[in-house]
Amino acid sequence: MKIIGALLALAAAALSATQQNGSSAKLAADPITIDTTSSRGVVTQVAMRNVSFYVTSSAALRIRSLRGEMRSLRGGPIVFDDKNSFAIRISSAEVGLNGSDLSNLLNDVVFAYPGAPLKFERTPWQIRLPAPTLGQHNEEIFGARLGLKPGRIEELRRIGVI
């Protein structure tokens, strides 16, 4: 169930980003929380099987099965063609993303902002230096950066602090 939640959170971010600026998907500044427990509108039972729900033009949630209820956010009947007019409360589901959909969703929405911590395919990472060994930079840190004298560093080493 946690995986479904994570997939739907990704989809919600994509939908929110898409509705913020029309067609291109960018991460929305303020995610919208939808309260499906309010008394607005009539509850409609929903069941889906084998549906490809496109959250962006290049990424779809592959809904194998889904059961739950839908509620209009504006009152009145649910308008399926207007994705911003209803909310779904899911009671059970089997949802997936294939590799291409997940890559597109991550690249185009989740990590598509300046300074994103990760980039995939388009900006491959590389290791420039090996990891330091234990204590390799002790003299630099304790001496140059913290201002300890060589005698004090040696004393700390002798008593097992460093």
- DSSP class of residue 132? P
Residue 4 has pLDDT above 60, yes or no: no
The answer to which of 4-18, 66-80, 124-138 has the lowest mean pLDDT is: 4-18
Joined together, the tokens standing for residue 33 give: 């929380």
CA distance 110 to 13: 8
96 or 16, greater pLDDT:
96
Percent over 70 (pLDDT), the chain:
65
DSSP 40-96: -S-EEEEEEEEEEEEEETTEEEEEEEEEEEEEESSSSS--TT-TTSEEEEEEEEEEE
User: What gap in Å lies between CA 38 and CA 105, rounded to an integer?
Assistant: 30
124 has pLDDT over 90: no
**Res. 149 pLDDT band, cuts 50 70 90:** very high
The pTM of the full predicted model, rounded to 2 decimals, is: 0.45
DSSP 8-state code for residue 136: T
Q: What is the DSSP letter of 158?
A: H
Asked if 115 contacts 123 with a C-beta cutoff of 8 angstroms, the reply is no
CB 107 within 8 A of CB 120: yes
Instruction: Enumerate the domain spans of the chain.
Output: 2-110, 127-162
- Closest by CA to 103, choosing from 158, 58, 46, 68, is 58
Rg (CA), the chain: 25
